[in-house]
Amino acid sequence: MSSTLIKNALIINEGKSFKGSLLIKEGLIAGIFPEGEVLPKADVLVDAEGKWLLPGAIDDQVHFREPGLTHKADIASESAAAVAGGITSFMEMPNTHPQTTTLEALEAKYGLGAEKSLANYSFYMGATNDNLQEVLKVNPEEVCGIKVFMGSSTGNMLVDNKETLKLLFSEIPMLIATHCEDEATIRHNTALFREKYGEQMPFRYHPDIRSTEACYRSSSVAVDLATRYNSRLHILHLSTEKELSLLSNRLPLAEKRITGEVCVHHLWFSRADYDRLGARIKWNPAVKEESDREALREGLKNNLLDVVATDHAPHTLEEKNQAYFAAPSGGPLVAHALLAMLALVEQGVFTLETVVEKMCHAPATLFRIEKRGYLRTGYHADLVLVDPKAAQTISDAGVHYKCKWSPFSGQSFAHSVESTWVNGQRVFHKGSIDASVRGQRLRFVK
C-alpha cells in the first residue's frame, strides 16, 4: 500500500486547531507534523492548503435497511452516501427483515457488511420480549451494543414486558441502547388526534402525539433501571428539554454509566418546519419545539449530551408522500449531517472543536472503539478533508441515497466534503466514489 502525505491542512483534533500535515502508511496514521517540522517523503502528496482535516465521523445510529427492505436503501448505497458526507464508521440497527435478534442473523449481517460496506461497520443485536439467552451470547468485543425499543417504531420490535426489561438491565454486561417513547401515551394521543382530524391530520401535530411526556416517561424508566442495576445505558435520539434532567455531566465520558445521544435533525429543525416540510421531517421521536432545540444545543455544549448521530432511516418518496398516519417516520441524513453541524458552527452555535468532539472522539470513547475517532499515530487512517469555501446547494437529484431525496433539499451550505479516507484508502474525492474500497468490522475494547 502506498503512503500519502496530506500537507498544509488546518487539523482539528482533541480540542485544538493547528496547521500541519499528516502521513498515512499501511492504512494507519504514521505521523502528525505541526507546521514548521520537517516532512517525510511519501508516494502521494495532497496539498490541503485552506482545507480542514478532521477524523472521520462515527455514526452510532443508522438504518441501512438490509436485509429485507432494500427498495428503500442497502448497505452499499448508504455507506457510499456516508463516506460522501465524511462518516467513516457506522453502527446499524436491528429492525430489518429478518430482525437481527439471533446470533445467526447478526453474523449474516456482518457478512453483508464485509461484502458491501465502503465504511467501517458494526451492527446492534436486537432485544425482544423473549430472546434474553440469545442476547447474552453476544461477544462485547465484536458488537457495538444491544438495542432495546422501549417505544415502538419502524419494525415493531417493542419490548414492553416489565420483567423482561428488568432482566435485560440486570444481566446484560454491555452497552444497552434504547429508543424511549411510552407506548400507552402515544396510543392515547393518537386516538385523540385521529378522532379530531381524521386521516388528513396536519403533520405539525406529530410532536403532540409523540409528545414530551411520552419521551420522558420512557426515558425515566430506562434511567431508573440502569441506576438500579448499574447498567451501561445509552439513550438514543433525545428530543426534549425535560429529558436533560435525567442526565449528568459530573463525570468524564469514559466513566459515565448513563449517556445520551442527540441527532442532527433535533438540533436543526423545530415544529415551525412541519408546514413546509411535512413528512420529510416526520421522525420518531418527533422534532419538537424551538425551546427543545435550543436546550439540546446547550446540552451538547455542556456535556449533558455526549454524541451527535443521524438516525439515518430512509423511506421512498412514494412512501413518505402519504397522509400523516400512513407516512412512515424516518429520513436520510448521513450525507449531510457533518455539513449541517458545520453550518451551525458558522452560525455561532458550536465550535469546530465541539463538532469533532461530539461526532468523532466521543462515539469512539463511549463505545470503546479500538483505534478510531482520533488523529493519533498508530490509529486507523479514517479522515475527512473539508473545503470551507466550496459552497453547495442540496437537491434531491444530487444525493447518493437510494431513496433519492433529502430533508435538506434546497438548503445551501458553505462547506463541502472534498475527500474521505477509510483505513488509509481515499474512498471519496470531489464527488466521485471508489466503490472498490471496503471498510473493516469495528472492534471494541471492553
**Hey, what amino acid is at 123?**
F
pLDDT at 446: 78
311 catalytic per annotation: yes
Strands 416-422 and 425-429: antiparallel
Mean pLDDT of the chain: 97
Does the pLDDT value for residue 255 go beyond 70?
Answer: yes
Burial 18-53 (b: 16+ CB within 10 A, else e): eebbbbbbebbbbbbbeeeeeeeebeeebebeebbb
List the one residue out of 349, 259, 249, 247 whose CA is nearest residue 298. 349
Mean pLDDT of 46-65: 98
**Average pLDDT of the residues in 276-302:** 98
What are 422-442's pLDDT values in tens digits? Answer: 999 999 999 999 999 999 999
Of the residues 74, 292, 306, 311, only one is catalytic, namely 311
The pLDDT value given to residue 153: 55
AA letter at 193: F
CATH number for the domain running over 57-367: 3.20.20.140
Once rounded to an integer, what is the mean pLDDT over residues 152-181? Answer: 87
CB-CB contact of 384 with 56 (8 Å): yes
Pick from 201, 319, 203, 341: nearest CA to 265: 341
CATH class of 4-54+381-390+411-433: mainly beta
pLDDT at 303 over 80: yes
Q: Kindly tell me the sign of the dihedral angle through the C-alpha atoms of 120, 412, 206, 324.
A: negative
CA 74 to CA 68: how far, in whole Å? 9
Could you tell me the residue ranges of all domains in the chain? 4-54+381-390+411-433, 57-367
Above 70 in pLDDT, residue 152?
A: no
pLDDT per residue over 188-210, tens digit each? 999 999 999 998 999 999 999 99
Please report the DSSP string for 183-214 in residue order: HHHHHHHHHHHHHHHGGG--GGGHHHHS-HHH
